[in-house]
Amino acid sequence: MQNEAVARLLENIAAALQLKAENIFRIRAYEEAARNIRFLKEDIAENWRQGRLTEVPGIGTSIAQKIGEFLQTGKSAYLQELCDGYPVAFLELLKIPGIGPRRAKLLYDHFHVTKLDDLADLARRQQIRQIRGMGPKTEEQLSRELARLGQRTQRLPLGIAWPLAERIASLLRNSPAVGQAEPAGSIRRRLETIGDIDILVASDRFAEIRKLIADLPLTKEILASGSTKITFLTAEDFQVDIRIVPQESWGAALQYFTGSKEHNVALRELAVQKGYKLSEYGIFEVESGRKVGGRTEAEVYELLGLTPIPPELREKRGEIAAAAAGSLPRLITLADVKGDFHVHSNYSDGNSSIAAMVESAIAHGYQYLAITDHSIGLGIARGINQEKAWRQWEEIRRLNKQYAPFRILSGVELEVRATGELDLSEELLAGFDFICASVHSGTRSDAERITKRMGSALRQHWVHVLNHPGGRLLNQRPPYEYHLDQLLQTAKETGKALEINGSYLRMDLDDSSARKAKEQGVLLSLGSDAHSVAGLDAMQLAVAIARRAWLEPADVLNTLPLAELLQWLEREKL
DNA sequence: GCCGTTTTCGGCCCGACTGTTTTCAGTCG
């Protein structure tokens, strides 16, 4: 799969075009094409072989030709030509906040800077301020950014950033100076990882808010403080941006600061077509300049002739056309989820008893819970063998009487061996109510092998769900190289479900894969992968992905009420 | 360079902040 490499090529071309001060729209075209290739779940090389490159949005004949050359030769004459006189590594400079094309070019022309180290050195020797147009302040800022870049933590997983943002918002709401406060930006869109934490505040008492933030126990340092924005670092070095707007602009501002950028651009274009101007302050009639809306988000969308679009869909992936046609999906919510299909107890590597997990599931409003401890194959987890399985079934029988009508399903998370075989006997498997299967090893084997391995797990009669099919761990391990299309085909043929795992480090399937699964008619299932009572809350993250994947309740197995789920499981046994 | 229920040519979002300026360019989101 060379999609990532192709996307980078196009981004490099876009960057090089910036240095040449090329037409901004040509630059945007390359960036847009790169973005769309990242979203694409098919192999771009396959598209190219079939001569279907220009069917990808944002790719026309010119960009298609450049992609073709790159796929064939691994190089791009066009990029080389653009970089003529500049080393390609020089494009690195553009990644530093505060350096755009103009300054990058200035730095190169004056000092032949090509590496970040060179730049740090120049800043230390106070050489940068010699350049006309760049003074001591700029030099200091660059020094700071370079230092931060060195120790920059990776993007924060949503599971960390979201609760933190809610906590800060709730602290702000406690102040009489604050009307409303909500996390915005990518947190509100439930993107799987977050750069900076954005929080929107409605207030006209800026000074009080500034003091409030300075006094928060979790504030380490205030980085910047303009008239509408305060930026600070938390004790853990996470960056938080607080935006302050007047109450009457709340809706337009929330819309604007939620993004995504691409969604907002498209919305503004639509506004222009309809004779409006849209900004974070509201929606205005162009002719009269009169403000016609902006107190609420819904108002903004409705004035543009759109059904209000849930934040999770605002990625410019077809949501605007759907909203215009009134055909947005009725997205799944946490309340639609009737049970959890992936939890561990102290029978394997969980740290709570089955009874405790059940009590928590009941408190979450569920009707059922599958206890899916690891099978023996995963050595580290003290997994389920025959003797343990019998003991666990006995306990579950007893607890089912105690907690009726709530239903505990005896389950297991099976290891899928490298051969595709499962690691418990057929006879034993037949005794479980619910079986999911996982790959936990050989994560770097080639795409053919791992796809085949997962596929053969799905074809095993007793398996209901394939867990975390992508195999990634955020910030730790990239997803498997595997053929999503093939896997989806197998899932469809067998009628088995693919899991969306809500564990904050997994978030797997990811949103665009899950969306593709839905489009192919593949069933999904949601699991928290809880290893403790508190872990059940991770269902929120699974639902977040499901919503970003446009899933409706009918697409997800565990939205079925208990009776219907039992029927489904019964049919699967045949 | 892409794209099309007003267009196959002429569009392609909008505003804030910062620093270094004597009125604005560069960068960002």
Is the model's pLDDT at A148 over the cut of 80? no
pLDDT digits (tens, 9 = 90+) for A247-266: 888 999 999 999 898 899 99
Q: Measured CA to C1', what is the nucleotide nearest A264?
A: B13
For chain A, the distance separating the N- and C-terminal CA atoms, rounded to the nearest angstrom, is 38
Domain segments of chain A as ranges: 3-151, 156-245, 260-324, 334-573
Strand A219-225 relative to strand A407-415, pairing: unpaired
Residue with tokens 């670092």: A233
CB of residue A232 closer than 7 A to nucleic acid strand B? no
Superfamily of structural domain A156-245: Beta Polymerase, domain 2 (3.30.460.10)
Residue with tokens 């809610």: A166
Is the model's pLDDT at A341 over the cut of 60? yes
pLDDT at A151: 60
CATH of A334-573, one of 3.30.530.20, 2.40.30.110, 1.10.10.10, 3.20.20.140: 3.20.20.140
Which of the four pLDDT bands, split at 50, 70 and 90, describes residue A377? low
A174 CB-near residues (< 8 Å, 6+ apart): none
Is the model's pLDDT at A378 over the cut of 80? no
Residues 154-213 of A near strand B (Cβ < 7 Å)?
185
pLDDT digits (tens, 9 = 90+) for A384-396: 888 888 889 999 9
Superfamily of structural domain A260-324: DNA polymerase, thumb domain (3.30.210.10)
Is the pLDDT higher at A408 or at A216? A408
Residues 87-146 of A near strand B (Cβ < 7 Å)?
96-104, 129, 132-139, 141
A165 CB-near residues (< 8 Å, 6+ apart): A183, A187, A197, A198, A199, A240
CB of residue A268 closer than 7 A to nucleic acid strand B? yes
Maximum distance among all alpha carbons in chain A? 80
d(CA A70, C1' B18) / Å = 40
pLDDT at A379: 56
d(CA A112, C1' B5) / Å = 53
CA A425-A428-A431 angle, 5° bins? 150
Is the pLDDT higher at A37 or at A257? A257
Residues 326-355 of A near strand B (Cβ < 7 Å)?
none
CATH of A3-151, one of 3.10.580.10, 1.10.150.110, 2.40.10.170, 3.40.718.10: 1.10.150.110
Q: What is the mean pLDDT of chain A?
A: 87
H-helix or E-strand containing A242?
A: strand A239-245
List the nucleotides on chain B closer than 7 A to a protein CB.
1-3, 6, 11-21, 25-29
* The two structure tokens encoding residue A505: 């480090």
Is the model's pLDDT at A169 over the cut of 90? yes
pLDDT digits (tens, 9 = 90+) for A501-549: 999 889 999 999 999 999 999 999 999 999 888 889 999 999 999 999 9
Residue nearest to nucleotide B20 (CA to C1'): A133
SS3 state at A228: coil
Q: Measured CA to C1', what is the nucleotide nearest A28?
A: B1
d(CA A460, CA A310): 38
Is the pLDDT higher at A442 or at A63? A63
pLDDT digits (tens, 9 = 90+) for A288-338: 888 998 899 999 999 999 999 999 999 998 899 999 999 999 999 999 999
Residues 419-438 of A near strand B (Cβ < 7 Å)?
none
Residues 527-566 of A near strand B (Cβ < 7 Å)?
none
pLDDT at A562: 97
